[in-house]
Structure 1
Amino acid sequence: MKPAPRPAESSPSKARLRLWLRLLKSTRQVEAVLRERLRTEFGTTLPRFDVMAALARYEDGLKMSALSGVLRVSNGNVTGIVDRLAEDGHVVRVQMQGDRRASVVRLTADGRAEFTRQAAAHAAWIDALLDDFTEAEAEALATRFDAVTTQEEKA
């Protein structure tokens, strides 16, 4: 089945819409590759990788609510992932002094080592997937997309 022909209109808003759709398509394709490779090469998931990546940036750990905020997902989403990472020995929950209801989640030494392995592979996969971009192009695009994020935060 052939797609319907596009209107001949050429306006900045149409071009930006097309850009967004191409970005979304590209992002989904890269994400699908990453999900598959994490599953087949490490027996893990992208959400688990994301939790470990967030925790790797905070050596003292994060409260569950802060971890949810960093990842921009609900506490419920993070709880199950943290439970599985704890079962695997990759994270530990440490109860906060003075508040028995709150705990901080930290990577264990094994978790940090495993994340280091996964992160190296992840970086290599991204490098290969985006190798058509020069370093200058990648930096310029990153700067342009940072501007979009900054606009969103101001709104």
Structure 2
Amino acid sequence: MVTEPIYSWLYVQQGVDAVKAAIGRRMEAEAACSLLEHVALYQLHHNGGRLQMSELVELLDVSPSGVTRLIERLVKRGWVVREQPADNRRLVIAVLTPEGEEACVGTTARVYRETLAEEFTELLSERDLADLRRIGRKLMEGHGRWDVKRFAPAESSEQ
């Protein structure tokens, strides 16, 4: 028996999956970049251009080995470099390069914004968007995942 909470979860999950798939397809086609690669660049850009690999694991919700592979792809493209402090060789820091910055604020950002508008924003009312933001934050807080680092500095005032 499917209950109302299960239906609610399935609708949200499948709606988000549909939007992410549409954004991912368009990112690959127009920016030659995966959605996850764009999100990693975005996180680096909005967090001072450098993050520890462990921070990327948390922010991207990807396994440590997945983040290692992701950063390797970005290094090969010249968008990121890895740094290791001489006094702590276990620490690895991903650093956004000028080329990565250009990709993040240029093509990938444009494609992301346009697709998000077409596949998400234009389908919802202002009230829908406000409700989703409120509910999303409530869920993140309930799971101990609320962190202003996940969002652009302009949006971080909602502490």
Normalising TM by the smaller chain, what interval?
Answer: 0.7 to 0.9
What CA distance in whole angstroms lies between the structure 1 residues aligned with 2:115 and 2:90? 40
Aligned equivalent of 2:12:
23
Aligned ranges 1:1-155 → 2 under 5 Å:
14-117=3-106, 118-130=108-120, 131-153=122-144
Which blocks of at least 5 consecutive residues in structure 1 are unaligned?
1-6, 8-12
Identity across the alignment (%): 22
Which blocks of at least 5 consecutive residues in structure 2 are unaligned?
146-159
- TM-score of the two chains, using structure 1 as the length reference: 0.82
Moved over 4 A (4+): none
What CA distance in whole angstroms lies between the structure 2 residues aligned with 1:15 and 1:145? 19
Higher relative contact order (Cα pairs below 8 Å, separated by 6+ residues): 2
Would the aligned equivalents of 1:94 and 1:105 in 2 still touch at CA under 8 Å? yes
More strand by share: 1
What CA distance in whole angstroms lies between the structure 2 residues aligned with 1:96 and 1:89? 20
Displacement of 1:82: 0.7
Range 144-153 or range 77-86, more displaced = 144-153
Structure 2 SS opposite 1:96:
coil
The AA in structure 1 aligned to 2:87 is G
Q: 1:119 to 1:14 in 2, by over 3 A?
A: same
Give RMSD over aligned pairs.
1.9
Would the aligned equivalents of 2:22 and 2:119 in 1 still touch at CA under 8 Å? no
- TM-score of the two chains, using structure 2 as the length reference: 0.80
The AA in structure 2 aligned to 1:123 is R
Aligned equivalent of 2:153:
none
Structure 2 SS opposite 1:101:
coil
Encode CA deviations 1:24-56: one digit per residue, 9 max, x unaligned. 111111111111111111112122122212211
Displacement of 1:97: 3.7
